[in-house]
Amino acid sequence: MRFPKPSSLGFRLPSVRAPALPGLRAGSMTRLLGVALRAAFWALALATLAAVLAFIFVAFVPMGPMGLTATTGDEGTRVPVPRAYLLFGLGAFVGYLGGFALILRHLKVIVHTLRIGDPFQPANVSRLKQIGLTLATVTGGAWVGQTLVSRLVRGALEPPSLFDLVTPAFSVLVVFVLAEVFREGARLRRESDLTI
C-alpha cells in the first residue's frame, strides 16, 4: 500500500532537526565521554575492590550467624543468613560490579581509539563482543540472584518477572549489532588503507 506524499496533498511538513548542544562539537563530546567513563570506571573499580575485601574478610574472619531483615514495607521478615549464603551473595556482588567495571574499561579503550581517529579496528570488534557477553552474563546473573533471594525471604520480596529481562536483552542485541557494524567498518578501513 502506498501512502500519498505530503507535498502531493498540498502541504509541506516542517523539517525537524534535533537542536545541537551549544558549544559542544564532536571532539568535545568524545572528550566528555572519555572523562565520564574514566570517572565511572575508577568508582566501580574501587567499589569492586571494597567488595573483594569484604568477601575475603567474611571468608577468613570467624563470625557468628548474621540476621538480615528483608522488607518491602512496614513489616519485614527476619532471615538468618548462613555464612555460605553471605559469601555467595558477596561473590555475586563482586561479579556484578567487576562485570560493569570490565565493560567500562572496554568502553574507555574504544573511546580512546575514537579520539585518536582510528575506531574501526578489529580489536574494537572483539571488545564490543566481550561487552555484549559480559552484559548478558551480569544482567542474567543479577536476575537469577534476585530470584534466589526472593525465594529465600519468601513473601517479603517479589521475585523478578521475565519482562525484566526484555530491556537488557535488547541492549545485548544492540551491542552485538554494533560489533558487526564495527567489523564491516574495520574491513572497509583495511580496504581504504590498501587503496593507493
Partner 1 sequence: MAIRVQLDRILVERRMSLTELADRVGVTLANLSILKTGKARAIRFTTLDALCRELNCQPGDLLAWSPGPQDIGSDEDADGAPSGTS
Binding site for partner 1 (CB under 8 A): 122, 125, 183, 186-187, 189-191, 194-196
CA dihedral 163, 165, 170, 172 (to 10 degrees): -170
Closest distance to partner 1 from the beta carbon of 118 (Å): 13
75: left (phi over 0), alpha (psi -120 to 50) or beta: beta
Closest distance to partner 1 from the beta carbon of 129 (Å): 10
Rank residues 66 and 123 by Cβ distance to partner 1 and give the closer one: 123
Q: Which ranges of 61-121 would DSSP assign to H, the alpha helix?
A: 83-115
d(CA 144, CA 164): 11
Rank residues 29 and 173 by Cβ distance to partner 1 and give the closer one: 173
Rank residues 78 and 187 by Cβ distance to partner 1 and give the closer one: 187
The greatest distance separating any two alpha carbons of the chain, rounded to the nearest whole angstrom, comes to 81
Closest distance to partner 1 from the beta carbon of 124 (Å): 10
Closest distance to partner 1 from the beta carbon of 120 (Å): 8
For residues 51-82, one letter each, b for 16 or more C-beta atoms within 10 angstroms of the residue's C-beta and e for the rest, the string is bbeebeebeeeeeeeeebebeeeeeeeebebe
Rank residues 75 and 191 by Cβ distance to partner 1 and give the closer one: 191
